[in-house]
């Protein structure tokens, strides 16, 4: 067969149409006949167009999915849409289009893009979170959480983004600003809000990390561990002078309590308000409202004495009660005991205001400081602390907390940085929270058989004022399911992170109308074998998903503790070292790439440019290199596929490289996913085959053409399918068996090994593969050049690493 020219457009459009016409092509059999493999990529927000980050994420996942098909697994590879969210509302306001219409047309376009790129998704399992068929189960699950006390309402200070006109979860606040509006400071507002009790699972979220330690990047686990922020300590009640009330503080260093020289309250603490009257009330108000507290980096410690005193329960000493801007209301009890001798912050504060500094801990091998110039914050030996003096810090912590418990003025306690997940959003385009407010019955859950609470379509969006649903009368006005009286619907919607916290379960049973999914169908697919997405979701999405899975397990829907066995976080796609973004105007459009070079080239380039976990820079001229590679491989295979001539003197050489390449790529897949080196190995193979071509027999040409096509298939599905069909084989190519390396054929007959003298390479000798140490040493010594270099010198020793090198150590 003469070589064919490579026409990417013709080939890709042809196979694209063919694959689209076979809806069952990428479906999992789900019958247990083959071992199952679940490849999951984070579902996109339907913003309108795919960006290069999507292309990279999905190229990695698709390559893995196709490889696992070829390895004989029953692969589940679904895709869906994280379709609720604020951008749809904003776009609707701007363009006077309904958010649903905007979202659905975006989905339609992006789906075309995904298909054009050749990603092998089972579209029969497509999930779109803005459809009532999906979000009714958000509501159903929310009601189950209410029943278990895991969803609750409370008044609290919450993060409010004025730009979004809604509340944000703690996880959605970055540097005091909204995660979507990086320059908009988040305000604190006191509102009644719905919360999910993620803190009830704090301990489990920490402990179960050992189940996924092997399969998750340690950085993500560390970030989650820090976010949860478990801290062991004690809560201690200080008496208030002239009152029966107590003031509770949290400390991790109760062993230092004899050094406490004041108690400090957060400005928001109720006792602060109680103690501050007259002028102090004005100072307090100013401190509460002070926006600069949002920026902890530049916050200057500031505080004032309330005029009140508290009593240290251990030694009866009276200490002044202060209010200070650096004490956080949201952590611990919102009040601390200040031990300036043993805490950096307390030292800074007390030095500034001339509060006494009393050292009570000495270094294990040192003496107690007299008038310290800096705090000693490490563990040591307790001194000047009554009966506890002489104890080691760690021991004193335990014993002193036990005493507090025994005498009723405190107890050992564990505090978390993690707070409950605020899920209320005062926006339209989200899942309505399924409760009804009745004047007589209070908060009443919507009964299951009335789900879903459907978002009304006819809503006026202005972006101003309160939640759009609140002014929709026919939505708001309803009757109480309990007493039948007139009542009002809840008008807040759920955080969209609820939607993405369990969608991966729904994929397994996406049409289920009586449950979120059938537990029996879901069980065999979990945990997900491989989850792939950006590290930006390390805390929010991944922590919420872990939490939600545990709740579903406790409801009896799921049998695993952890949803994702293996997590892979891919790097960002950048242009000239900068993140691509609309505001910077440096977006590379995948569509243009596909038109110009084809999907195969686009995919190969994203995989070749860098290992998948690293950030990669988009460089158009490098893309052309991939196009050249695809063209060369296409031409080589088409002109050799049914070759009839050739001597065969290069057969062994060609087959050796072929089988070495099979081993290399298989190992890349199984061990580390460095597809850049896999593709480099394919290039090396092609270079070698071109060099050998004239001397290859027809049978070996065909053999190499076929295997090369199979090795290429996970990376460049279109051209591989075309070549496979050209060779007259039945497809699809990604369901063929993955080539197996024959170690005999891959084996090198002789090896060139370097000969070093004193660790410097001085020559190279050829030895038969499998030579003994002695044979290698002999070959090295026999080399003319080596002989002349060691002549007359004393050989101290000779190190031989079989197949690797010979190092002769000489003296003189």
Partner RNA sequence: GCCGGAGUGGCGAAAUCGGUAGACGCAGCAGACUCAAAAUCUGCCGAGGUACACCUUGUGUGGGUUCAAGUCCCACCUCCGGCACCA
Write the interaction track for RNA spanning residues 163-192; mark x where CB under 7 A is met and - where it is not: -----------x------------------
Which of 124, 219, 281, 587 is in the footprint of RNA by CB under 7 A?
219
Pick one of 624, 642, 703, 775: the residue that binds RNA (CB under 7 A). Answer: 624
Q: Does 233 bind RNA (CB under 7 A)?
A: yes
Q: Is the Cβ of residue 59 or residue 756 nearer to RNA in the bound state? A: 756
What is the signed CA dihedral for 225, 226, 229, 232, rounded to 10 degrees? 80
For RNA, the closer CB: 88 or 338: 338
Number of C-beta neighbours around residue 498 at 10 A: 25
Of 194 and 627, the one with the shorter C-beta distance to RNA is 627
Using rule CB under 7 A, residue 787 touches RNA: no
Q: How far apart are CA 140 and CA 134, in angstroms?
A: 10
The nearer residue to RNA, 372 or 611, going by C-beta atoms, is 611
Q: How do beta strands 435-438 and 442-445 pair?
A: antiparallel
Angle at 248 between CA 242 and CA 250, to 5 degrees: 145
By CB under 7 A, residue 277 contacts RNA: no
Question: Under 8 Å CB-to-CB from 598, ≥6 apart: which residues?
Answer: 8, 9, 11, 12, 627, 630, 718
Task: Write out the binding residues for RNA, residues 791-810 only, by CB under 7 A.
Answer: 797, 799, 801, 804-805, 807, 809
Task: Examine residue 654 and tell whether it contacts RNA (CB under 7 A).
Answer: no
Minimum distance from residue 258 beta carbon to RNA (Å): 14
Q: Please tell me the distance from the alpha carbon of residue 154 to that of residue 191, in angstroms, as a whole number.
A: 8
Integer CA distances (angstroms), 445 to 155, 298, 480, 483, in order: 19, 46, 9, 12
Q: How far is the CB of 347 from RNA (least distance, A)?
A: 10
Residue 617 as a binder of RNA (CB under 7 A): the answer is: yes
Size of the site for RNA (CB under 7 A): 88
DSSP sequence for 540-575: HHHHHHHHHHHHHHHHTS---S-SBS-EEEEPPEEE
760 binds RNA (CB under 7 A): yes
Q: Does 332 bind RNA (CB under 7 A)?
A: yes
Query: Within 10 Å of residue 50's Cβ, how many Cβ atoms?
Result: 23
DSSP state of 342: G
Among 619, 647, 766, 769, binds RNA (CB under 7 A): 619
Site for RNA in 12-71 (CB under 7 A): none
Instruction: Give me the least distance between CB of 546 and RNA, in Å please.
Output: 16
Q: Which spans in 76-147 are helix H?
A: 86-95, 99-116, 132-147
Among positions 56, 77, 136, 253, the unique one binding RNA when judged by CB under 7 A: 253
Per CB under 7 A, the list member of 758, 766, 769, 788 interacting with RNA is 758
Smaller CB distance to RNA: residue 147 or 374?
Answer: 374
Contact window for RNA (CB under 7 A) among 195-203, 368-376, 525-533, 606-614: 606-614
Residues linked to residue 336 through DSSP beta bridges, in sequence order: 264
Cα separation, 89 vs 91, in Å, equals 5
CB within 8 Å of 58: residues ≥ 6 apart: 41, 114, 117, 119
Question: Which CB sits closer to RNA, 22 or 619?
Answer: 619
| Residues β-bridged to residue 168 | 159
User: How many Å is the Cα radius of gyration of the chain?
Assistant: 34
- Kindly identify the residues of this chain, within the stretch 491-550, that bind RNA according to CB under 7 A: 535, 539
Given 69, 216, 314, 326, the residue binding RNA (CB under 7 A)? 326
The pattern of x and - marking residues 410 through 449 that bind RNA according to CB under 7 A reads -----x-x--------------------------------
**Minimum separation from the CB atom of position 788 to RNA (A):** 10
Three-state secondary structure of 466-535: CCHHHHCHHHHEEECCCCCCEEEECCCEECCCCHHHCHHHHCCCCCCCCCCCCHHHHHHHCCECEEEEEH
Stretch that binds RNA, among 72-80, 184-192, 226-234, 443-451 (CB under 7 A): 226-234
Residue 616 binds RNA, judged by CB under 7 A = yes
Residue 664 binds RNA (CB under 7 A)? yes
For 781, phi then psi, to 5°, come to -65, -25
Q: How far is the CB of 705 from RNA (least distance, A)?
A: 17
Q: What Cα–Cα distance (Å) separates residue 324 from each residue in 157, 249, 264, 276, 353?
A: 19, 14, 6, 13, 11
Q: Of the candidates 207, 210, 622, 788, which one interacts with RNA according to CB under 7 A?
A: 622
The Cα–Cα gap between 121 and 78 comes to: 5
Residue from 244, 460, 752, 784 binding RNA (CB under 7 A): 752
User: Is residue 632 involved in binding RNA (CB under 7 A)?
Assistant: yes
- Contact with RNA (CB under 7 A): which of 59, 251, 385, 736? 251
Q: Which is nearer to RNA, 429 or 605 (CB)?
A: 605
Cβ proximity to RNA: between 65 and 418 the closer is: 418
Cα–Cα dist 502/547, whole Å: 10
Give the nearer residue to RNA in terms of CB position, either 208 or 684: 684
| C-beta closer to RNA: residue 260 or 552 | 260
Question: In angstroms, rounded to a whole number, what is the distance separating the alpha carbons of residues 397 and 392?
Answer: 9
CA distance 596 to 298: 50
Q: Of residues 64-123, which lie at the interface with RNA (CB under 7 A)? A: none
Residues 338-377 that bind RNA (CB under 7 A): 343, 345, 348
Give every CB contact of residue 76 below 8 A, 6+ residues apart in sequence.
28, 30, 36, 37, 38, 39, 122, 507, 508, 525
Stretch that binds RNA, among 110-118, 298-306, 383-391, 524-532 (CB under 7 A): 298-306
Q: Considering only residues 666 through 725, tell me which ones interact with RNA, judged by CB under 7 A.
A: 667-668, 671-672, 674, 676-677, 679-680, 683-684, 687, 690-691
Determine which residue in the list 271, 609, 641, 708 makes contact with RNA, applying CB under 7 A: 609
Is the Cβ of residue 138 or residue 606 nearer to RNA in the bound state?
606
**Which one among 631, 697, 726, 778 touches RNA, defined by CB under 7 A?**
631
Those residues with Cβ within 8 angstroms of residue 737's Cβ, 6 or more apart along the chain or in another chain = 70, 72, 710
Instruction: Output b/e per residue, 386-403; b: 16+ Cβ within 10 A.
Output: eebeebebeebbeebbeb
**Using CB under 7 A, which of 756, 767, 776, 777 touches RNA?**
756
Near RNA in 763-782, by CB under 7 A: 763-764
- Answer whether 508's CB lies under 8 Å from 554's CB: no
Taking the complex as a whole, the smallest distance from the CB of residue 806 to RNA amounts, in Å, to 9
For residues 564 and 545, the answer to whether their CB atoms sit within 8 Å is: yes
């Amino acid at each position: 067969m003469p070589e064919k020219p490579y026409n990417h457009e013709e080939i890709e459009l042809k196979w694209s149409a063919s694959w689209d016409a076979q809806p069952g092509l990428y479906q999992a059999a789900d019958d247990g006949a083959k071992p199952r493999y679940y490849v999951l990529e984070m579902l996109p927000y339907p913003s309108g167009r795919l960006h290069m980050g999507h292309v990279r994420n999905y190229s990695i996942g698709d390559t893995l999915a196709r490889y696992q098909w070829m390895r004989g697994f029953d692969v589940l590879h679904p895709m869906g849409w994280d379709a609720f969210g604020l951008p749809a509302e904003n776009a609707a306001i701007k363009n006077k289009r309904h958010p649903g219409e905007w979202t659905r047309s975006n989905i339609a376009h992006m789906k075309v893009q995904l298909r054009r790129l050749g990603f092998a998704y089972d579209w029969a399992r497509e999930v779109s979170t803005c459809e009532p068929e999906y979000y009714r189960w958000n509501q159903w699950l929310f009601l189950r959480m209410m029943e278990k006390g895991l969803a609750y309402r409370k008044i609290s200070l919450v993060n409010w983004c004025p730009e979004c006109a809604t509340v944000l979860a703690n996880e959605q606040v970055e540097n005091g600003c909204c995660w979507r509006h990086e320059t908009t400071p988040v305000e604190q507002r006191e509102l009644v809000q719905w919360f999910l009790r993620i803190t009830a699972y704090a301990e489990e979220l920490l402990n179960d990390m050992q189940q996924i330690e092997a399969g998750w990047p340690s950085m993500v686990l560390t970030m989650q561990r820090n976010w949860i922020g478990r801290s062991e300590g004690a809560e201690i009640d200080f008496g208030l002078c002239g009152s029966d009330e107590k003031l509770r503080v949290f400390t991790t260093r109760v062993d230092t309590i004899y050094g406490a020289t004041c108690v400090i309250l957060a400005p928001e603490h109720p006792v602060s308000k109680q103690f501050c009257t007259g002028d102090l009330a004005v100072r307090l108000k100013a401190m509460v409202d002070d926006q600069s507290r949002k920026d902890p980096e530049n916050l200057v410690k500031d505080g004032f004495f309330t005029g009140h005193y508290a009593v240290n329960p251990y030694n009866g000493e009276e200490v002044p009660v202060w209010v200070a801007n650096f004490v956080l209301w949201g952590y611990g009890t919102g009040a601390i005991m200040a031990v300036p001798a043993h805490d950096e912050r307390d030292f800074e504060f007390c030095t500034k205001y001339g509060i006494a500094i009393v050292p009570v801990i000495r270094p294990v091998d040192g003496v107690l400081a007299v008038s310290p110039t800096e705090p000693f914050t490490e563990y040591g030996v307790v001194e000047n602390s009554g009966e506890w003096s002489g104890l080691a810090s760690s021991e004193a912590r335990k014993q002193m907390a036990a005493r507090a418990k025994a005498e009723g003025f405190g107890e050992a306690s564990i505090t978390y940085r993690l707070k409950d997940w605020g899920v209320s959003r005062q926006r339209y385009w989200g899942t309505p929270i399924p409760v009804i407010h009745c004047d007589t019955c209070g908060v009443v859950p919507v009964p299951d058989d009335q789900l879903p609470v459907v978002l009304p379509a006819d809503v006026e969006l202005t972006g101003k004022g309160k939640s759009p649903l609140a002014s929709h009368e026919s939505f708001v006005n309803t009757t109480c399911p309990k007493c039948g009286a007139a009542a009002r619907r809840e008008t807040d919607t759920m955080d969209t992170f609820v939607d993405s916290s369990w969608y991966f379960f729904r994929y397994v049973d996406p049409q289920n109308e009586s449950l979120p999914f059938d537990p029996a169908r879901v069980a065999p697919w979990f945990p997900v074998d491989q989850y792939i997405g950006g590290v930006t979701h390390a805390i929010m999405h991944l922590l919420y998903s872990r939490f939600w899975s545990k709740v579903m397990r406790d409801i009896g829907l799921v049998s695993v503790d952890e949803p994702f066995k293996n997590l892979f976080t891919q790097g960002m796609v950048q242009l000239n070292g900068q993140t691509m973004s609309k505001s910077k105007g440096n977006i590379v459009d995948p569509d243009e790439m596909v038109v110009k070079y084809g999907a195969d080239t686009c995919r190969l380039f994203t995989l070749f440019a860098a290992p998948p976990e690293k950030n990669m820079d988009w460089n158009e001229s490098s893309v052309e290199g991939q196009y050249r590679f695809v063209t060369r491989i296409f031409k080589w295979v088409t002109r050799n596929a049914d070759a009839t001539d050739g001597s065969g003197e290069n057969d062994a050489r060609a087959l050796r490289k072929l089988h070495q390449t099979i081993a290399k790529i298989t190992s890349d897949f199984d061990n580390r996913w460095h597809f850049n080196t896999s593709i480099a190995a394919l290039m090396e193979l092609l270079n070698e085959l071109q060099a050998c071509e004239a001397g290859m027999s027809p049978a070996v040409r065909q053999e190499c053409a076929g295997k090369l096509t199979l090795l290429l298939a996970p990376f460049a599905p279109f051209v591989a399918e075309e070549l496979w069909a050209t060779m007259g084989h039945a497809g699809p190519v990604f369901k063929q068996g993955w080539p197996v390396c024959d170690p005999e054929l891959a084996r090198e007959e002789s090896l060139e090994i370097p000969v070093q003298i004193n660790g410097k390479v001085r020559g190279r000798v050829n030895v038969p593969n499998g030579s003994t140490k002695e044979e290698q040493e002999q070959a090295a010594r026999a080399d003319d050049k080596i002989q002349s270099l060691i002549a007359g010198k004393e050989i101290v020793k000779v190190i031989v690493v079989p197949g690797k090198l010979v190092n002769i150590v000489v003296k003189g």
